[in-house]
Amino acid sequence: MNPAVPNRWFDRARLRRQAAELLKYYSPDYFSAKQRFLAACNRVGLAHQSLPIHAPSPNSEPLTIDIAVAGSEKPTLALVVSSGVHGIEGFFGSAVQLAFLEQLAPDWQPPEGAALVFLHALNPYGFAWQRRFNEDNVDLN
């Protein structure tokens, strides 16, 4: 391949720009990921609740599993988008959820009879402490 001839299938500069654009969805820690997720849910108008877990936190802030729902209360179809079953993987999953939410228009709703359910940080202890296992040293998978 001649480096002087641009390859329309592999444009390194374009790939670098796209990768840099995606990095904005990643958070440096569990607590900022949680705040960004909740802020995105509020912006779109999703109802949400936080379920606290009773486990030690690296900075004394409470650890929670956060749930946000859009759509029908009794759906016939539902899409569940979860993150952080293996705590350390929460960084990627949370970034995916955040990118999805930030692409939605404010007050967006799924089609009638459908629901979209976000489960953020199913293993908040593992996410916060950057480990795969939960506070009881259990792999939730």
What residues contact residue 122 under an 8 Å CB cut-off, 6+ apart? 65, 82, 83, 84, 85, 140
pLDDT tens digit at each of 141 positions of the chain? 556 656 666 788 888 888 888 899 999 999 999 999 999 999 999 989 999 999 999 999 999 999 999 999 999 999 999 999 999 999 999 999 999 999 998 888 999 999 999 999 999 999 999 999 999 999 998
Question: What domains are defined for the chain?
Answer: 27-129 (3.40.630.10)
Name the amino acid, one letter, at 139.
D
- Between the CA of residue 32 and those of 96, 98, 120, 125, 127, what are the distances in Å? 15, 12, 12, 14, 11
DSSP 99: H
Q: Return the axis-axis angle of helices 30-44 and 90-103, rounded to nearest 10°.
A: 20
pLDDT value of position 53:
97
pLDDT value of position 16:
87
- First-to-last CA distance in the chain? 44
pLDDT value of position 21:
87
Token pair for 114: 């459908």
DSSP 88: G
pLDDT value of position 11:
84
pLDDT value of position 3:
60
Name the amino acid, one letter, at 129.
W
Round to whole Å and give the CA distance between 39 and 44: 9
Token pair for 3: 């480096």
